[in-house]
DNA sequence: ACCTGAACACCGTTCAAGT
DNA sequence: ACCTGAACACCGTTCAAGT
């Protein structure tokens, strides 16, 4: 683990929320935005409400539930009413997924944690419903849309997790860079295919690659029949 | 976090490995297999070698490096020489990715952690090289193969992470099941697309869905041109 | 009945002191 | 020079005791 951050205190926050489920999640989001997702702990929350850690357990069963509640609150900020534009359904879908990824990349270190979160709140359901509707609008056969929605959301989350780790460069010894330099130094004898494609492995901007990935994914979902 | 497990001790292990990098990783893998990935901590490792935690830091810089070393050792067990069979390149590739996922799903709770691991060891490079070679053999254009290998390995890891969480059902309040029941109870007014496709969202066996996902992904990679 | 201080059982990491 | 005990600064969770 990296060295702990010094708690910033309640700095420029408005009137403190009440000590109940909603208020706790509100303070959790404040801490996450001001510091990082991993700073949101049960003990820290208790301290923020000037009480002992046991008090938080009156309203929230455990850390997993706390994290799920944070993510669902965040999901509430996604704009799900963009179908009215003149874009095609596929364009809208790609935009929505890119927004979702962007949202996950916002708060420091959130993205790395989401993959383990498995949200189930109403806002996540709304996101699923929207993605499904857009796939159907795009002409994807219903069964393929049903199986594909999972894969699209998983891809979005995994992309955020991968990107999130790379963005948060505190040390010089970053894992992402270690892999990159390992690939750059891979010999043609040991790694013939890597050597052959070395120039292309890191080509393109992150935005180009994301668009291509989402397009390829949707194309595959639209073109691959589900077994009877 | 779930309640801590009681350390099992060195039970039926052979002669204890020496206190060096290699020996530490060996013991780490033993602990992971006998208990769980999350049981492998710097302190636990030190205790296993009957010394203080500082001793581990002589050989391994921090937990991130420890986890990376564990994963690369594990990756060494993958069979990368299956091209000799009569299957098509695509079949071999799907089999390899399924094996990789299966390997990640083996040790309890490993899968959930891998997404945050970002391995860069020689065995991970070998895996990348193999996937690339198989994509080329399958006839995928070089630039699409180069951009697609990332996506395929990310998908494998994310699938393992998702599946890994669901398999480890200790409580009744599992997150995966909460999402499932939320979807089953979603009303047609609030979630029209979910209601329409409810029957298909959870259809098929895990194996069928994985095969379909990998096929769709490869199909999309093979059929979507990379921008100039 | 509702809330919480204090305790239990752990973490990762560092550093001064020992061999 | 090499290793490590002890300390620092945290965790999540529970439970007995207080209001």
What are A181-221's pLDDT values in tens digits? 889 999 999 999 999 999 999 999 989 999 999 999 999 99
pLDDT values of chain B reduced to their tens digit, one per residue, 228 residues: 344 444 444 444 556 789 999 999 999 999 999 998 889 999 999 999 999 999 999 999 999 889 989 998 999 988 887 766 668 999 999 999 999 999 988 887 787 777 667 677 889 999 999 999 999 999 999 999 999 999 999 999 888 877 765 433 334 445 556 788 889 999 999 999 999 999 999 999 989 999 999 999 999 999 999 998
* Residues A62/A134, Cβ–Cβ less than 8 Å: no
Residue of B225, B73, B71 whose CA lies nearest to B148: B225
Cβ-Cβ contacts under 8 Å, A209 against chain B: 147, 150
The residue to which tokens 């096929």 are assigned:
B215
* Residues B87/B39, Cβ–Cβ less than 8 Å: no
The larger pLDDT score, comparing residue A6 to residue A164, is at A164
Cβ-Cβ contacts under 8 Å, B151 against chain A: 155, 213, 216-217
How many beta-carbon pairs under 8 angstroms link A with B? 217
pLDDT on residue A163: 73
Q: Which bases of chain D come closer than 7 Å to a protein CB?
A: 2-7, 9-16
- How close A206 comes to chain B (CA, Å)? 11
pLDDT on residue A10: 43
CA atoms within 13 A on the CB side of A86: 0
Residue A108 has pLDDT above 80, yes or no: no
Q: Which pTM value belongs to this model?
A: 0.84
Cβ-Cβ contacts under 8 Å, A62 against chain B: 1
Give the nucleotide with minimal C1' distance to the Cα of A42.
Answer: D12
How far, in Å, are A110, B91, B117 from residue A161 at the CA level? 8, 29, 11
Residues near B20 by beta carbon (within 8 Å), at least 6 away in sequence: B59
Instruction: Please list the helix, strand and coil fractions of chain B in percent, rounded to the nearest 5, in that order.
Output: 65, 0, 35
pLDDT on residue A146: 97
* Residues B136/B194, Cβ–Cβ less than 8 Å: no
What sign for the dihedral angle of Cα B143, B145, B147, B148? Answer: positive
Residues 41-100 of B with CB under 8 A from A: 61-64, 68
Q: Which one of B175, B184, B205 would you mutate to disrupt binding with A, by most A Cβ within 10 Å of its Cβ?
A: B175
Secondary structure class of A224 (helix, strand, coil): coil
pLDDT on residue A79: 80
pLDDT on residue A15: 65
- Interchain proximity B162–A154, CB inside 8 Å: yes
Give the Cα separation of B30 and B51 in Å (integer): 18
The larger pLDDT score, comparing residue B32 to residue A177, is at B32
Cα Rg of chain B (Å, integer):
21
Residues 5-44 of B with CB under 8 A from A: none
Go through B82-107 and write b for each residue having 16 or more CB atoms within 10 A of its CB, e for each that does not: beeeeeebbebbbbbbbbbbebbbeb
* Position A91 confidence tier, pLDDT thresholds 50, 70, 90: very high
CA atoms within 13 A on the CB side of B3: 4
pLDDT on residue A110: 82
Give the Cα separation of A51 and A42 in Å (integer): 11
The residue to which tokens 């996450």 are assigned:
A32
Chain-wide mean pLDDT for chain A?
A: 85
* Lowest pLDDT segment from A15-29, A129-143, B112-126, B205-219: B112-126
pLDDT over 90, % of chain B: 60
Residue A83 has pLDDT above 70, yes or no: no
Give the nucleotide with minimal C1' distance to the Cα of A38.
Answer: D11
- Interchain proximity A124–B179, CB inside 8 Å: yes
The residue to which tokens 């992470």 are assigned:
B161
pLDDT over 90, % of chain A: 59
pLDDT on residue A7: 44
Give the Cα separation of B124 and B151 in Å (integer): 15
Residue A49 has pLDDT above 90, yes or no: yes
Cβ-Cβ contacts under 8 Å, B219 against chain A: 219-220, 223-224
pLDDT on residue A116: 67
pLDDT on residue B2: 41
Compare CB distances from B197 to A68, A125, A145 and report the shortest one's residue. Answer: A145
* Position A3 confidence tier, pLDDT thresholds 50, 70, 90: very low
Cα Rg of chain A (Å, integer):
21
Cβ-Cβ contacts under 8 Å, B173 against chain A: 61
* Position A111 confidence tier, pLDDT thresholds 50, 70, 90: confident
pLDDT tens digits for B119-172? Answer: 778 899 999 999 999 999 999 999 999 999 999 999 998 888 777 654 333 344
Quickly count: other Cβ atoms within 10 Å of residue A120's Cβ. Answer: 19
Q: Which bases of chain C come closer than 7 Å to a protein CB?
A: 2-7, 9-16
**Which burial class, exposed, middle or buried, applies to B26 when counting CB atoms under 10 A from its CB (0-12, 13-18, 19+)?**
middle
Give the Cα separation of B206 and A56 in Å (integer): 38
């Amino acid at each position: 683990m990296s060295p702990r951050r010094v708690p910033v205190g309640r700095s420029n926050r408005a009137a403190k929320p009440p000590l109940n489920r909603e208020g706790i999640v509100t303070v959790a989001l404040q801490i996450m935005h001001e510091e990082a997702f991993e700073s949101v702990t049960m003990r820290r929350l208790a301290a923020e409400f000037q009480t002992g850690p046991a008090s938080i357990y009156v309203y929230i069963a455990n850390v997993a539930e706390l994290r799920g509640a944070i993510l669902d609150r965040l999901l509430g900020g996604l704009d799900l009413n963009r179908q009215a534009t003149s874009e095609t359904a596929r364009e809208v879908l790609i935009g929505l997924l890119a927004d979702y990824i962007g949202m996950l990349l916002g708060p420091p270190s959130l993205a790395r944690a989401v993959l383990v979160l498995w949200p189930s709140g109403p806002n996540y359901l709304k996101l699923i419903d929207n993605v499904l509707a857009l796939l159907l609008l795009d002409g994807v056969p219903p069964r393929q849309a049903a199986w594909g929605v999972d894969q699209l959301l998983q891809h979005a989350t995994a992309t955020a997790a991968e990107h999130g780790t790379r963005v948060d460069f505190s040390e010089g010894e970053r894992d992402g860079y270690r892999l990159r330099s390992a690939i750059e130094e891979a010999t043609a004898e040991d790694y013939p295919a890597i050597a052959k494609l070395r120039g292309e492995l890191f080509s393109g901007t992150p935005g180009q690659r994301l668009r291509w990935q989402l397009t390829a994914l949707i194309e595959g979902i639209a073109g691959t029949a589900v077994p009877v």
